[in-house]
Chain A
Amino acid sequence: MSAPVRTAPRRIAAGPSILPGVASARFDLRPVYEPLIFLVLTSAAYFAMPPNMQYILGIAVIYALLTTSLSVLFGWTGTYTFGHAAFFGMGAYAAALLKDQAWGPLTFLGVSAAVAAVAAVVIGLIGRRLAKVEFAMLTMIVGQIAYLLTFRVPELEGDNGIYGIPRGEIAGVDLAPPETFWWYSVIVVAVVMGLLRRINLSSFGESLSAIRDDPVKAAAIGIPVNALRLAAFTLAGAVAGLAGGLFAQQGSIVTPSTLSFTFSGQIIIMALLGGMTRFWGPAVGAILFQFINALVFGNTPHATLVLGAILLAVVLVFPSGVLGVLSRLRGLLSRGRRTR
């Protein structure tokens, strides 16, 4: 069976998507050149910026990976989660707790991803029979449990957080200087984004779209809905955990705020700002949000209020429903940058 390819926007692809003569995903080069464009653009911006902005962009590219992992659920599969920060935090805490191991930085990222993936499998199995809204609440509650545990388990140090997570070195190159770490983190992010893009274009990604659009019909044509949902949840958890590990290496400290409910909400807001109907939307949203936040609202004490106002504006300006609307919004926000 040839893998169907989405060459047109989803609204059109909902029609006959397996067309004769369409190149299969295997020969689609978007998973290669799109991350390269991402890497070149962000790096060009990075080296043109003053150091304080470089710091923000360094965090923003990690958040770009995190919001894209959220989009695997919200945007690709139509599964809603309000506790995504938990996986990010688990990845970060995994790296923090194992900081004394003499592993390379990439091994740490692998461990972070694995820990979060295992947690995602367990949560996904507990919630496998739940309807959408109940599942969203379950994820929220799980997130809160993870957050409370950081205060309850002495080794996790509560509000103080865990300090001194090393950046390590790869092939003799010390990652401690900011510029070296920038190359390390942006390459890791770009490679994982490329893998996600490949998965997004595969028949697996296409099946997820079918589940999102109509789970009953998807089941009727033989798509194993529950198994694929679980797979998507695990994938999203693993990538979020990897982003968390990267975040821990970047800041060398992990605090409970990385798995708070508020941060889960912020991940959703960032992804929504970019729009989750396009693959690169959440990544663009994350970077945009970080700069809006730093430049416009960095000095206001009313961050919560401003965050709420942004979200309400995004949701209300187009009353026709968020998913259909945000691709238009993203189109406005990122016109002239990237089209997909």
Chain B
Amino acid sequence: MAVISTLINGVAYGVPLFLVASGLTLIYGVIGVLNFAHGSFFVVGALLATTVIGTGLPTLPTFAVAVLAGAAAVAALGLVTESTVVRRLYRGDHITMLLATFAVLLIVEGVAEVLWGTTPRSISRPEVLSGSTRILGATIPLYDIVLVVVGVLVAAGLFLLINKSAFGRSVRAVAQDSVMGEAVGLNTKRVMLLVFGLGSALAGLAGALIAPNVSVSPSLGHDFILQSFAIVIIGGLGSVTGSLVAALLVGVAEAFAVAHMPELAGFTFYILVAVVLLVRPRGLLGSAKLGRA
């Protein structure tokens, strides 16, 4: 069944995009910052994974450690960025923010070039996950299934965290009105810091997970951040659910383009963005967003 294999392939392709885009849109929804540096955070996650794993064939535990290390280190990087750069600019306008985070993107990418060099690196999947399995007559790589499972877990986790936990309640309060939140006793600075860290961790996780599928170099972030922006626009700025829907839509569309219309491969994102912007300027779920526009 070629359709099923294309479908799962597309979903697996969409999951890392969802992880990056959800972090981006979460930070935008709560803090109101469109974080350009997100793309470079993603790359740092991928580069760290290549360092931890090295050239050999990783065992499953090594791979898990590499992925978690990538996420944790990038979370730390996010916390540092928030407390040194982003926090100073909360009262600035959008453009100041964009430019400051663009500067952080260039700096992180520059440092990554110094640390890792510009030569592309690649790593192997762990041996147990390198095979494939058959579902409904279609051959599916095991790694794709892992990606889908991670995507489901993260989406469910984010949903529970934002909608059911005490922390999530303060996050939603800050997203709606940070001044009011502060007035009723919330530590809004801490909430914003943690949200920035969480969003960054998702970027690092995505980077580490995608490392076995691509060749990793410091400039990988450019293309990926643009695709993530495309997803955030399609889903609606600030809507995590929107970015999930958009990432799956784009992933599946891209997989079908690769399978059936190769001349469109790589462009489905942009076509979908143009269509969505013409029909719904605020994105698919742009009105059902977490907080402010």
Contacts and interface: CB of A to CB of B under 8 A. Distances in A.
Given A261-B222, A305-B106, A129 B281 contact: yes
Given A141-B273, A315-B100, A319-B88, A305 B113 contact: yes
A158 B246 CA distance: 30
15 contacts: A80-B98, A130-B277, A132-B94, A133-B98, A134-B281, A137-B34, A138-B233, A144-B270, A268-B102, A302-B113, A308-B108, A312-B85, A315-B100, A319-B89, A319-B91
A147 B103 CA distance: 22
Contacts, number: 122
A148 B267 contact: yes
Given A80-B95, A127-B277, A304-B109, A315 B103 contact: yes
A140 B96 contact: no
A307 interface: yes
A322 interface: yes
B17 interface: no
Q: In the complex, which range does the number of interface residues on chain B fall in?
A: 35 or more
Nearest to A304: B110
Contact of B109 (A136, A308, A309): A308
Contacts of A170: none
Interface string B103-123: 111111111011000000000
Given A133-B94, A308-B110, A322-B99, 6 more contacts: A74-B95, A131-B293, A144-B223, A262-B222, A302-B113, A316-B89
A265 B277 contact: no
Nearest to B113: A304
A308 B100 contact: no
B31 to A, nearest CB: 13
Interface in A284-340: 302-309, 311-312, 315-316, 319-323
A311 B103 contact: yes
B275 to A, nearest CB: 10
Interface string B159-174: 0000000000000000
B193 to A, nearest CB: 18
Interface of B: 34, 85, 88-89, 91-96, 98-100, 102-111, 113-114, 222-223, 226, 229-230, 232-233, 237, 266-267, 269-270, 273-274, 277-278, 281-282, 293
B107 A321 contact: no
A268 B99 CA distance: 9
B104 A145 contact: no
A137 B229 contact: yes
A237 to B, nearest CB: 17
B270 A312 contact: no
Contact of B96 (A129, A134, A141, A322): A322
A312 B222 contact: no
Given A145-B267, A148-B267, A265 B95 contact: no
